[in-house]
Amino acid sequence: MKHQHFKRIFLLIGICISYFVTNAQTLLESISLNRLSDKDKPALLTQLAERNRINGDYKGAIQKAQQSAALALKFKNLTEATKAYTIQSSIYATTKEFVLSKKAGDSAFLIAQQSRQPVAMAYAYYAQALFYNAIDNSEQITKYCGLALKLLEKVADPYLSAKIYYLLYMVNTHWDDVKNVNKYARAATENALKTTDYNLLSNCYIALSVAADYNYASNKNEALRDSIIYYLNKAQSLYQQYPKYVARKTYGIACVNSADYYLRYFSDTDQAAKANAIRYAEMANEVMKGAINGEEIRASSLGILSEYARRDKNFVMTEAYLQEAYSVLKTQKVPYYYTLINVSTALATFYEQQGEYKKALELQKRVTEYNSKYFDEKRTLNAQKLEVQYEAEKKSNEVKLLKQREKYARQQKYLYIGIAIASILGLIFMFRSYHFRLRYSLQRERQLHLEKQDAELQMKFEKEEQARLKAEQLLLESQQQQLQKEMMASQLQLEHKKEMLFQLKEKLIDNQRLNIKKIWNEELLLDNDFEEAKFQIQEVHPEFFSLINQRAQQKLTPLDLKLCAYLHLKMDTKKIARLMNIEAKSVRMSCYRIKQKLGLGRDEDLKLFLQDIG
Domain membership of residue 24 (yes or no) is no
Q: Catalogue the E-assigned strands of 27-170.
A: none
The answer to whether the beta carbons of residues 243 and 287 sit under 8 Å apart is no
The total number of structural domains that make up the chain: 1
Specify the amino acid at residue 237. S
Domain membership of residue 123 (yes or no) is no
pLDDT above 70 coverage of the chain, percent: 82
The answer to whether the beta carbons of residues 269 and 282 sit under 8 Å apart is no
Other C-beta atoms closer than 10 Å to the C-beta of 192 total: 26
Confidence grade of residue 556 (pLDDT, cut at 50, 70, 90): confident
The answer to whether the beta carbons of residues 120 and 79 sit under 8 Å apart is yes
Per-residue pLDDT of 325-353, as tens digits, reads 999 998 887 788 889 899 999 999 999 99
Confidence grade of residue 81 (pLDDT, cut at 50, 70, 90): very high
Q: Give the separation between CA 500 and CA 581, rounded to whole angstroms.
A: 8
Residues 6+ away with beta carbon under 8 Å from 336: 295, 296, 329
Residue 495: predicted pLDDT: 59
Give burial (CB, 10 Å; 0-12/13-18/19+) of 203.
Answer: buried
Chain-centre distance for alpha carbon 567: 110
Rounded average pLDDT over 449-474: 80
Domain membership of residue 339 (yes or no) is no
Residues 6+ away with beta carbon under 8 Å from 176: 214
What pTM value is reported for the model?
A: 0.65
Per-residue pLDDT of 149-161, as tens digits, reads 999 998 999 999 9
Residue 21: predicted pLDDT: 37
Rounded average pLDDT over 373-391: 82
Chain-centre distance for alpha carbon 319: 72
Q: Give the separation between CA 276 and CA 544, rounded to whole angstroms.
A: 159
Domain membership of residue 342 (yes or no) is no
The candidate with the shortest Cα–Cα distance to 49, out of 106, 87, 23, 89, is 87
Confidence grade of residue 18 (pLDDT, cut at 50, 70, 90): very low
Confidence grade of residue 409 (pLDDT, cut at 50, 70, 90): confident
Structural domain span for residue 595: 540-614
Write the CATH number for 553: 1.10.10.10
In the predicted structure, residue 293 carries a pLDDT above the cut 70: yes
Rounded average pLDDT over 87-93: 95
Rounded to whole angstroms, what are the CA distances from 460 to 450, 454, 468, 540?
Answer: 15, 9, 12, 35
The torsion angle over the Cα atoms of residues 235, 240, 246 and 247, rounded to 10 degrees, is 100
Residue 585: predicted pLDDT: 85
434 vs 194, residue with greater confidence:
194
| SS3 at position 343 | helix
Domain membership of residue 571 (yes or no) is yes
The answer to whether the beta carbons of residues 329 and 369 sit under 8 Å apart is no
Residue 4: predicted pLDDT: 38
Per-residue pLDDT of 212-270, as tens digits, reads 999 999 888 888 889 999 999 999 999 999 998 999 999 999 999 999 999 999 998 99
Residue 403: predicted pLDDT: 63
Q: Give the separation between CA 127 and CA 93, rounded to whole angstroms.
A: 10
**Across 116-125, 360-369, 542-551, least confident range:** 542-551
Specify the amino acid at residue 282. E
Domain membership of residue 310 (yes or no) is no
The answer to whether the beta carbons of residues 257 and 206 sit under 8 Å apart is yes
77 vs 420, residue with greater confidence:
77
Per-residue pLDDT of 180-202, as tens digits, reads 999 999 999 999 999 999 999 99
Residues 6+ away with beta carbon under 8 Å from 354: 315
Specify the amino acid at residue 157. D
Residue 397: predicted pLDDT: 67
Task: Supply the mean pLDDT for the chain.
Answer: 83
The answer to whether the beta carbons of residues 239 and 250 sit under 8 Å apart is yes
Domain membership of residue 575 (yes or no) is yes
Domain membership of residue 446 (yes or no) is no
Q: Give the separation between CA 19 and CA 13, rounded to whole angstroms.
A: 10
Chain-centre distance for alpha carbon 403: 23
Rounded to a whole number, what is the distance in angstroms from the first to the last CA of the chain? 175
Residue 191: predicted pLDDT: 97
